[in-house]
C-alpha cells in the first residue's frame, strides 16, 4: 500500500484500487478557547490554497444548529440552548450533527469536529462512531486532535469579548464544570497526531505536537 495525491485528494493505493484518505480533525477545548476561530481559519486557508470550495473541510458542530435555530426564532443562543434542554431535544441536534459527519465522509470531504470533546470517554465514543462510519463507506480515516489549553483568565477574556461582539453567553458555572472535567488529549486514545495549542499574546499558537 502507498499513499499519494490523486485529483488533489490523498489516497491509499491498494491492489483493489485507490481508497481516499479522509482527514478528520477533532478540536478539544473548553468554551472560549478559540476552537471555532481556528476551525474557520483552517477552512479559509484551505479554500485559498485549493482555490475552490470543493475540497475544503466541513466544520461539524452542534452549535451550528443551535445558532441557526436561535436566529430563526430571534432569541439568544443561551435561551435557545435552555429551550432545547428543557424540551429534551439535544438528541435531535446530535442526530443532525452525526448526519452531517456521515454525509461528509460519504462524499470524501475532510471534517473538523468543533465541539468541546473534553473527556477521554466522550472522545472514545466519538472515535468509535467515526470509525464505524468510515468502515461503512470503505474509507480510511486519519484523525488528528487539536487540544486547546488556556487559563481561566484567558477564557474569561475571550468570552466577554465574544459576548460584546455576538451576544453569545456561556454561564460561568458551565465553564467551571467544563474546566473540572477537561482531560488533555493524548495520542494513545487513538489519534494519529495530537497538536497542543496555547495562547501567547493574542495569537493561539502550536506549542508541541505528538506524532510518536
Q: Would you tell me which residues interact with ligand ATP (CB under 6 A)?
A: 29, 31-37, 63, 116, 158, 161-162, 165, 170, 199, 202-204
Closest by CA to 180, choosing from 63, 30, 53, is 30
Cα-Cα-Cα-Cα torsion 17, 25, 39, 81, nearest 10 degrees, comes to 120
From the list Mg ion, ligand ATP, none, which binds 202 (C-beta under 5 to 8 Å, kind-based)? ligand ATP
Does 117 help bind Mg ion (rule: CB under 5 A)? no
Considering the complex, state which of residue 133 and residue 159 has its C-beta at the smaller distance from ligand ATP. Answer: 159
**What's the CA gap between 22 and 189, in Å, rounded?**
18
Helix segments in 57-171, DSSP class H: 63-73, 77-86, 90-106, 120-136, 152-166
Q: Do the Cβ atoms of 168 and 77 come closer than 8 Å?
A: yes
Closest contact distance (angstroms) between CB of 97 and ligand ATP is: 14
Does 36 help bind Mg ion (rule: CB under 5 A)? yes
Cell 439535544 sits at which residue?
A: 90
Q: Do the Cβ atoms of 78 and 168 come closer than 8 Å?
A: yes
Closest contact distance (angstroms) between CB of 18 and Mg ion is: 35
Considering the complex, state which of residue 33 and residue 104 has its C-beta at the smaller distance from ligand ATP. Answer: 33
- Kindly indicate which of the ranges 36-44, 151-159, 184-192, 194-202 contains the residues binding Mg ion, using the contact rule CB under 5 A: 36-44
**What's the CA gap between 47 and 92, in Å, rounded?**
31
Does 22 help bind Mg ion (rule: CB under 5 A)? no
Closest contact distance (angstroms) between CB of 189 and ligand ATP is: 20
Contact footprint for Mg ion (CB under 5 A): 35-36
Amino acid at each position: 500500500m502507498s499513499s499519494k495525491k490523486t485529483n488533489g485528494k490523498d489516497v491509499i493505493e491498494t491492489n483493489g484500487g485507490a481508497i481516499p484518505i479522509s482527514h478528520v480533525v477533532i478540536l478539544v477545548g473548553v468554551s472560549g478557547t478559540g476552537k471555532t476561530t481556528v476551525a474557520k481559519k483552517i477552512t479559509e486557508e484551505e479554500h485559498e490554497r485549493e482555490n475552490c470550495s470543493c475540497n475544503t473541510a466541513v466544520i461539524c458542530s452542534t452549535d451550528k444548529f443551535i445558532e441557526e435555530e436561535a436566529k430563526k426564532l430571534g432569541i439568544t443562543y443561551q435561551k435557545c440552548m435552555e429551550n432545547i434542554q428543557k424540551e429534551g431535544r439535544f438528541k435531535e441536534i446530535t442526530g443532525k450533527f452525526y448526519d452531517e459527519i456521515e454525509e461528509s465522509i460519504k462524499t470524501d470531504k475532510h471534517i473538523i469536529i468543533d465541539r468541546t470533546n473534553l473527556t477521554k470517554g466522550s472522545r472514545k465514543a466519538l472515535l468509535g462512531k467515526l470509525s464505524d462510519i468510515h468502515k461503512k463507506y470503505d474509507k480510511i480515516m486519519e484523525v488528528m486532535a487539536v487540544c486547546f489549553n488556556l487559563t481561566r483568565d484567558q477564557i474569561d477574556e475571550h468570552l466577554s469579548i465574544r459576548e460584546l461582539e455576538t451576544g453569545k453567553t456561556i454561564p460561568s458555572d458551565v465553564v467551571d464544570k467544563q474546566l473540572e472535567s477537561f482531560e488533555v488529549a493524548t495520542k494513545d486514545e487513538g489519534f494519529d497526531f495530537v497538536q497542543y495549542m496555547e495562547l501567547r499574546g493574542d495569537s493561539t499558537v502550536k506549542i508541541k505536537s505528538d506524532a510518536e
